[in-house]
């Protein structure tokens, strides 16, 4: 990795990439390079000896725990994606809970009142404001066109001065998606994502921070809410996952759970659906609800890139499949 010393501001030369200038959504939170490193920060500063982790989560969550040598135990969730807490959380232990798809804020609120040592993973819930006093982290690349970046709220600060990350080597997929196509940039995306593995805690890169300052967050949030409601109106009657629209505040995707496997068919129609999460199939048995979720839940894209016509196209295609 190259290191760049601070120098006197350059004047003249070629014109740089021009980006809108505004304000970040979370200007007062700690800015780090990845969400998994934000979790590492929390576990390290609190000196937790054990973390209760949901079976239904991305395997990268285990990276910081393994790095720190911290024990972890898996727990299960119920049909409403709420944690089944049939264990005692000791003073040096904590519970990690995911605000799944950005629709579980009511559960987050309840847990924050009843559990002392709680970590909220808002990687799928960027617009869910952190609760005061509750360790919370966010992933920027799950919601916006950046290659990395995370926000962290925590009550205790590490004294370590972290190096600033550099993102320029990880953004080719973002440029290709504009100049070529999403498909042309996919391999670059996979390589960019892989480069984040087992990295050190660093401060958010200048490039990522600059991009995040140029986003119209209120517009992005309102479009997500509108699109979510359109999909729910069309598919809610078929969805076996209960969704309370009052809890919707800029969600990541529309989680559509049905006893049919339609993900591959949608991908064939150029509606790209991620699997949440392949590693869960290795961690669980076929009898477990988490296993069923991974096989059957379809995360329908509803983000700010898409308009009402796009949502109607999705609805028409999905209804033909079910």
pLDDT tens digits, residue range 192-213?
A: 888 888 889 999 999 999 999 9
Which pLDDT belongs to residue 10?
Answer: 82
User: What pLDDT does residue 143 have?
Assistant: 97
- pLDDT tens readout for residues 184-194: 998 998 998 88
Residue 74: partners with Cβ closer than 8 Å, 6 or more residues away: 52, 53, 54, 55, 283
Distance CA 219, CA 251 (A): 13
Is residue 130 within 8 A of residue 106, CB to CB? The reply is no
Helix residue ranges per DSSP H, the chain: 35-46, 62-68, 105-114, 172-179, 186-194, 206-212, 217-235, 263-268, 278-283, 289-296, 308-321
Asked if residue 313 and residue 171 are part of one domain, the reply reads: no
pLDDT band per the 50, 70, 90 thresholds, residue 95: very high
Residue 4 has a pLDDT of: 52
Q: Calculate mean pLDDT across residues 255-259.
A: 97
> Of all residues in the chain, what percent carry a pLDDT higher than 90?
86
Would you say residue 15 lies in a domain? no
Q: How many domains does the chain have?
A: 2
The residue segments making up the domain with residue 47 are: 30-212
pLDDT of residue 159: 84
- Per-residue pLDDT, averaged over 249-270, amounts to 95
User: Tell me, what CATH number does 110's domain have?
Assistant: 3.40.640
Give the percent of the chain with pLDDT over 70.
98
Q: Domain holding 276: CATH number? A: 3.90.1150.10
User: pLDDT-based confidence at 5, cuts 50/70/90?
Assistant: low
Structure confidence at residue 14 (pLDDT): 81
Name the β-bridge partners of 71: 50
Q: Which of the four pLDDT bands, split at 50, 70 and 90, describes residue 9?
A: confident
**pLDDT-based confidence at residue 94 (cuts at 50, 70, 90):** very high
pLDDT at 6 over 90: no
pLDDT tens across 275-291, in order? 999 999 999 999 999 99
126 domain-assigned:
yes
pLDDT at residue 19, as a whole number: 87
What's the token pair of residue 234?
């069309």
Q: Is residue 25 part of a domain?
A: no
Report yes or no on 8 lying in a domain. Answer: no
Residue 8 has a pLDDT of: 86
- State residue 118's pLDDT score: 98
| Residues 190 and 258 placed together within one structural domain of the fold | no
Among the candidates 154, 180, 212, a domain finishes at 212
If asked whether residues 183 and 234 sit together in one domain, one would say no
Query: How many whole angstroms separate alpha carbon 312 and alpha carbon 306?
Result: 11
Mean pLDDT of the chain: 95
Say what the pTM is. 0.93
């Amino acid at each position: 990795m190259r290191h760049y010393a601070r120098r006197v501001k350059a004047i003249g030369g070629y014109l740089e990439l021009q980006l809108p200038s505004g304000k970040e959504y979370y200007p007062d939170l700690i800015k780090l390079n990845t969400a998994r490193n934000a979790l590492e920060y929390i576990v390290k500063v609190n000196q937790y000896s054990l973390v209760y982790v949901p079976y239904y989560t991305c395997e990268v969550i285990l990276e910081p725990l393994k790095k720190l040598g911290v024990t972890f135990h898996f727990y299960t969730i119920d049909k409403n994606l709420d944690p089944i807490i049939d264990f005692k959380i000791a003073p040096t232990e904590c519970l990690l809970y995911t605000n799944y798809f950005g629709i579980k804020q009511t559960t987050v609120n309840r847990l924050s009142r009843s559990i002392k040592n709680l970590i909220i993973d808002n990687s799928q819930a960027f617009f869910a404001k952190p609760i005061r006093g509750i360790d919370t982290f966010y992933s920027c690349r799950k919601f916006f066109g950046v290659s990395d970046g995370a926000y962290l709220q925590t009550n205790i600060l590490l004294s370590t001065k972290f190096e600033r990350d550099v993102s320029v080597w990880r953004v080719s997929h973002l440029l290709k998606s504009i100049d070529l196509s999403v498909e042309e940039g996919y391999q670059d995306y996979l390589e960019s994502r892989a480069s984040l593995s087992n990295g050190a805690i660093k401060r958010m890169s200048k490039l990522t921070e600059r991009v995040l300052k140029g986003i119209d967050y209120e517009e992005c949030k309102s479009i997500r809410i509108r699109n979510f409601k359109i999909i729910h109106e069309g598919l809610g009657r078929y969805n076996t996952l209960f969704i309370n629209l009052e809890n919707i505040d800029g969600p990541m995707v529309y989680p559509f759970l049905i006893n049919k496997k339609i993900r591959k068919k949608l991908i064939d129609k150029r509606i790209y659906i991620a699997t949440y999460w392949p590693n869960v199939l290795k961690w669980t048995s076929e009898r477990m609800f988490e296993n069923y979720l991974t096989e059957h839940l379809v995360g329908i894209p509803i983000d700010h890139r898409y308009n009402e016509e796009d949502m109607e196209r999705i609805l028409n295609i999905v209804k033909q499949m079910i």
